[in-house]
Structure 1
């Protein structure tokens, strides 16, 4: 049972969760399609990832997850006071609002919408933005928070960006004022902007709209090359950065705990980005946290779904009965920016 703590700024909780995934793909059977050295990918420990059909896009996945969450909550979409959508890959169109598109898919209008695009941090920070909106608007009683990652294989090679297999999935949460379970406690985040270019794509934006002639994500240099280039191929600088990643995760969790009036020792479960099991276990060790109370077991079955990782893992743990009433869960991760973030929930 989690420790007693002060009430949060706004009393809200997750009433239901919904999910949608691309088709299951076997990593071992498909790695050779993405990289010339599949054994490198297999060492990461992933077994399955989700790949959406070519005609299934981010809004499709987000809408499917949202409908499931609404059905499970017994809530009609027209009862929503706020719709927040977080995305972590390329949008379907330029000059286009994906949150508005989701609201349209749900058949609602004249509802406040918000679009988040903070990469993998969106699924964690989004809960803070929902809490902030509901704190500032007392008439807002029910919100929908949807998170989606739909990889554009034109732009990204699923198995060659970093040590993760990128995956297509969406999660949605119906959040209600006064809901007694899965309560938001606190959120914290900070950015170290000198690392902003680490995994950026050099084209597709206003500076360089088109890729070089003959470019393909399947044959483009790996993300490792870009990271090494950022650190001037200096292995000592890279090692320092890797150490900072862990230090900053510990720092952001401690800061969120301080806001909630608890300590890291009061956290019962840590849900991190769907990194490799070895990486998640290393994070747990650095936090003095039991590895079996993380998402290390779940990550190999789903792959890295960008901003959707933490809510998907939360949902699986809830469905399996891994979390007890009163437990404190830390949703945490790292994102482009680079940004470190944490949101605490009390089950």
Structure 2
């Protein structure tokens, strides 16, 4: 089914990853004093960028690869969209413009998305809006990047995922047959919007206390427990609803696209731990092989970059072929549940 408002597909892929790090006790002890807890998450590898490699540099490498893969030059790019899912390099600064400068796309429009890892998926819906409202657009560069700021966040204490450094990029081309966008849906539970925030460095608290360190800051999940400290029944209800809402948002996307959930070939979830993938497979009623669990274990959680890196791997390996229906799903800050459907 072709969307009547925005008809576009993926004409090229690119990605750039930090240096591979094995998930083993001697590596993990730099970040946590209980490596066994992290080992239980089931990751094999994560990516850590060198200290002098920024999010913009990772993004530019991925962008150039996608432009080349699509057979284009920077002059052919009509719009640059950047989804940035960690702390930006600077305050009062437009990272999307910095990316455009880095890759040589000048005097063209650009857009910056900063809604955490969700923006690497719902950003495709934003692009649909651009195509729908501006018939002159032909090729949009969409880049999603996660570069952990280790001053602000401990990559192994944000939640029950190892946070990884990487960027993914795609060229989204009007009328392209491969990787067609079908629908994007998201909804939020704003009552818990403060969970997983970085408390220091922003307008409310620009400077951290002298004794504060990301190495010892509370795990984001501790904020969840604290929220429900006097309401254990409420916590149980919320936990039960977490994955069920993924099914709900996927069903909403399927309804918009006019497809059946049973026709989805692959469920690409954010690169969560293996236990979460088992739970997701159960709630969707599919074998875990129908999810992206195996790829997630090789990369760690690359924030907004997860889904497009995984989609590229599956299409290049031949596991996904033209005609296959793919759901890109996840849960992000906000709290947001989201799904984008793509027809390979």
Structure 1 residue 10, shift from structure 2 partner: 1.6
1:172 aligns with 2:169: yes
| 1:23 aligns to 2:27 (yes or no) | no
Are the counterparts in 2 of residues 19 and 65 from structure 1 also a CA contact under 8 Å? yes
What residue ranges of structure 1 are gaps of 5+ in the alignment? Answer: none
In 1, the alpha carbon distance for the partners of 2:13 and 2:240 equals 34
Q: Deviations over 1:88-115 (max 9, x none)?
A: 0000000000000000001121111000
Matched, 1:218 2:218: no
Partner residue of 1:259?
256
Q: Distance in 2 between matches of 1:6 and 1:64?
A: 31
Equivalent residue for 1:193, pick from 190, 194, 203:
190
Residue 43 of structure 1 aligns with which residue?
Answer: 40
Written as runs of structure 1 = structure 2, the 5 A alignment for 1:1-347 is 5=1, 7-28=3-24, 29-232=26-229, 234-347=231-344
Contact 2:83 2:145 in 1 (8 A): yes
The Cα of 1:7 is off from its aligned counterpart by 4.1
Cα shift at 1:281: 2.2
Q: Which moved more, 1:198-207 or 1:5-14?
A: 5-14
User: For the residues of structure 1 that align with 2:214 and 2:274, how far apart are their CA atoms?
Assistant: 26
Distance 2:30 2:169 in 1: 31
| CA distance in 2 between partners of 1:94 and 1:296 (Å) | 35
Q: C-alpha separation between the residues in 2 aligned to 1:163 and 1:44?
A: 7
Matched residue SS, 1:89 = coil
- Give the CA deviation at 1:26: 1.1
TM-score (norm 1): 0.96
Secondary structure of 1:34's aligned partner: coil
**SS of match in other structure, 2:211:** coil
The offset of 1:233, in angstroms, is 6.0
Any idea what SS the aligned residue of 2:267 has? Answer: strand
Give me the CA root mean square deviation: 1.1
TM-score with structure 2 setting the length = 0.97
1:175 is displaced (CA, Å) by 0.8
Deviation, structure 1 residue 234: 4.4
